[in-house]
Amino acid sequence: MKYFYLLLITVFIFNCSPKETPSPAPLLPVPAANQLAWHQMELNAFVHFTTNTFTGKEWGYGDESPAIFNPTQYNADQWVQIFKNAGFKGVILTCKHHDGFCLWPSKYTEHSVKNSPWQQGQGDVVRDVMRACKKYELKFGVYLSPWDRNHADYGSTAYIDYYRNQLNELFTTYGPVFEMWFDGANGGDGYYGGKREKRSIQGSTYYDWPTTLNQVRELEPEILFFSDAGPGVRWVGNERGVAGETNWNTISPDTLYAGKAGIENLLNTGAENGTHWIPAEVDVSIRKGWFYHAEEDTLVKTPEQLFDIYLTSVGRGSTLLLNIPPDKRGLVHTLDSSSLMGFRALLDSAFKTNIVSGKPVQVSSFRGKDEKYGASNLVDNDAETYWATDDAVTTGSIEIDLGETKPLNFILLQEYIPLGQRIKAFTVEVRNNNTWQQIAEGTTIGYKRILKLNGVNSDAIRIIITDSKASPVISNIAVY
Ligand code: FUL
């Protein structure tokens, strides 16, 4: 009998204790762990450096002599230290561009630094950049152009073996590698071991990417592959630094492949009901070209231009891959580094003081009336807590009292993307003399969305989620 009462009491206590409201079910597809880490990097540096730096070309023909590669004051540490100071989190190096010249002493070709006068043929740019990345704690990534205008076998299966051998060489000699770039460009003509002809390949099948990717994954399981179609990260569809104002991280990759024409608009916006999480990466050069050319010294993007690019890339939920090409000396030119430092200063000042941090927030509703999903999660500076609504609720409003009238320059919103990308449309309103006025609107949010508020004065701000694929889940709102 004693035990019976004990059991009754236990059942009673169990039923009275408050039930945990289950968190929202993920809205598939969701990012993999390596994609999530990539989103959080936000700013990466791209480095284009090869014989083009010395010939003044953008696409070397493939007949350049290794003898012309001879930087006089080369210092990869200088590059990476500048990138670090600018706030970059990773570096992707063109280990081989379309001209086929290899920046490491590959045993599979003579067309490499081992036949250059530079460091008496003992130099290795890939090794040096990797080491500098370790030193400055940036992640290291590689670009290995599939199109090779130097190689005699390009166009046949023998070249695919060559390409795979080189990947094997790179991934067993250097690393870890966080991202690998597969460029879709192919202009057809080239040196091709002296044949000097045009070679066409079938872009959808020639490279047999699945086999190649699996080979690399065996050596580097966490790697993210970039190409037009992913599978880890997709191209944003332009080289101007502009992600779609509507930017879904999702897309259906089955009919896409690197280099396929006519898919730029789709890549730019992604697809609301895409089957895979393949976020867009925004690649753009600080200069007109991808390689250093002295005559483009006057065309280095200004800090203000770089800041605008930040808003149209990171501010639209993408990661920015900004190309900074070393010059003929093998150094990042001061024009580029000054511009980068100016850019950093603009970022630091624009996003210095989040005036809604810890402020009182009112929301239209929150999930299960459970504080775990309450409004304060939006302004607690904790990326792991979020505001969420009940499953059936796909709209809502968030109102933040500023306590006094202040000029507002930017609003920054972040969805909790481990549960998928959900929000389709929202508006931003400000209050003045007790009257609300809409001052901005947006569509998707994703990992991060930043909207300009142009210094409008206000004593409260309201975000209205007007449409969402599923109940909205927002981890962070900041106002500057
Ligand atoms: C393009 C290439 O053709 C350019 O030279 C550059 O490498 C850019 C990042 O990708 O497809």
| pLDDT tens-digit series, residues 393-412 | 999 999 999 999 999 999 99
Q: What is the pLDDT of residue 255?
A: 83
Residue to mutate, 94, 99, 239, ligand 1, most ligand atoms under 8 Å from C-beta: 239
Q: Could you tell me the distance, in angstroms and rounded to a whole number, from the CA of residue 256 to the centre of ligand 1?
A: 18
Q: Could you tell me the distance, in angstroms and rounded to a whole number, from the CA of residue 275 to the centre of ligand 1?
A: 27
Average pLDDT of every residue of the chain: 95
Residue to mutate, 98, 183, 228, ligand 1, most ligand atoms under 8 Å from C-beta: 183
The answer, yes or no, to whether any atom of ligand 1 lies below 6 A from the CB of 8, is no
Q: What is the pLDDT of residue 226?
A: 97
Q: What is the pLDDT of residue 185?
A: 87
Q: What's the average model confidence in pLDDT over 277-306?
A: 98
Residue 122 predicted with pLDDT over 80: yes
Q: What is the pLDDT of residue 63?
A: 98
Q: What is the pLDDT of residue 260?
A: 85
Q: What is the pTM of this model?
A: 0.95
In whole angstroms, give the CA distance from residue 101 to residue 34.
30
Residue with CA at minimum distance from ligand 1 atom 3: 185
Q: Could you tell me the distance, in angstroms and rounded to a whole number, from the CA of residue 183 to the centre of ligand 1?
A: 7
The percentage of residues in the chain with a pLDDT greater than 90, rounded to a whole number, is 92
Q: Could you tell me the distance, in angstroms and rounded to a whole number, from the CA of residue 241 to the centre of ligand 1?
A: 14
The answer, yes or no, to whether any atom of ligand 1 lies below 6 A from the CB of 185, is yes
Q: Could you tell me the distance, in angstroms and rounded to a whole number, from the CA of residue 444 to the centre of ligand 1?
A: 28
Q: Could you tell me the distance, in angstroms and rounded to a whole number, from the CA of residue 133 to the centre of ligand 1?
A: 23
* Nearest atom (ligand 1) to Cα of 291: 5
Residue 12 predicted with pLDDT over 70: no
Question: Can you give the residue ranges of every domain in the chain?
Answer: 33-350, 361-479
Q: Could you tell me the distance, in angstroms and rounded to a whole number, from the CA of residue 94 to the centre of ligand 1?
A: 10
Residue with CA at minimum distance from ligand 1 atom 11: 185
The band of 149, judged by pLDDT with boundaries at 50, 70 and 90, is very high
| pLDDT tens-digit series, residues 355-386 | 999 999 999 999 999 999 999 999 999 999 99
Phi and psi at 305, nearest 5°, equal -65, -40
Give the pairing type, strands 396-415 and 473-479.
antiparallel
Q: Could you tell me the distance, in angstroms and rounded to a whole number, from the CA of residue 236 to the centre of ligand 1?
A: 13
* Nearest atom (ligand 1) to Cα of 97: 7
Q: What is the pLDDT of residue 5?
A: 61
The band of 419, judged by pLDDT with boundaries at 50, 70 and 90, is very high
* Nearest atom (ligand 1) to Cα of 283: 9
Residue 208 predicted with pLDDT over 60: yes
* Nearest atom (ligand 1) to Cα of 94: 7
Write down the CATH number for the domain with range 361-479: 2.60.120.260
In whole angstroms, give the CA distance from residue 351 to residue 478.
9
| pLDDT tens-digit series, residues 238-269 | 999 999 999 999 999 988 887 888 999 999 99
| pLDDT tens-digit series, residues 92-119 | 999 999 999 999 999 999 999 999 999 9
The band of 1, judged by pLDDT with boundaries at 50, 70 and 90, is low
The answer, yes or no, to whether any atom of ligand 1 lies below 6 A from the CB of 283, is yes
Q: Give the C-alpha distances (Å, rounded to integers) separating 107 from 121, 167, 173, 295, 431.
A: 13, 12, 12, 35, 67
| pLDDT tens-digit series, residues 437-453 | 999 999 999 999 999 99
CATH classification number, 33-350, choose in 1.10.8.420, 1.10.10.60, 3.20.20.80, 3.40.50.2000: 3.20.20.80
The band of 201, judged by pLDDT with boundaries at 50, 70 and 90, is very high
The answer, yes or no, to whether any atom of ligand 1 lies below 6 A from the CB of 99, is no
Q: What's the average model confidence in pLDDT over 143-162?
A: 98
Q: Could you tell me the distance, in angstroms and rounded to a whole number, from the CA of residue 423 to the centre of ligand 1?
A: 33
* Nearest atom (ligand 1) to Cα of 185: 11
The band of 9, judged by pLDDT with boundaries at 50, 70 and 90, is low
Residue 257 identity (one-letter amino acid)? Y
Q: What is the pLDDT of residue 37?
A: 98
Nearest to 249 by CA among 233, 261, 265: 233
* Nearest atom (ligand 1) to Cα of 285: 9
Encoded tokens for 453 = 């508020």
Q: Could you tell me the distance, in angstroms and rounded to a whole number, from the CA of residue 185 to the centre of ligand 1?
A: 7
Residue 2 predicted with pLDDT over 60: no
The answer, yes or no, to whether any atom of ligand 1 lies below 6 A from the CB of 183, is yes
The band of 15, judged by pLDDT with boundaries at 50, 70 and 90, is low
Residue 16 predicted with pLDDT over 60: no
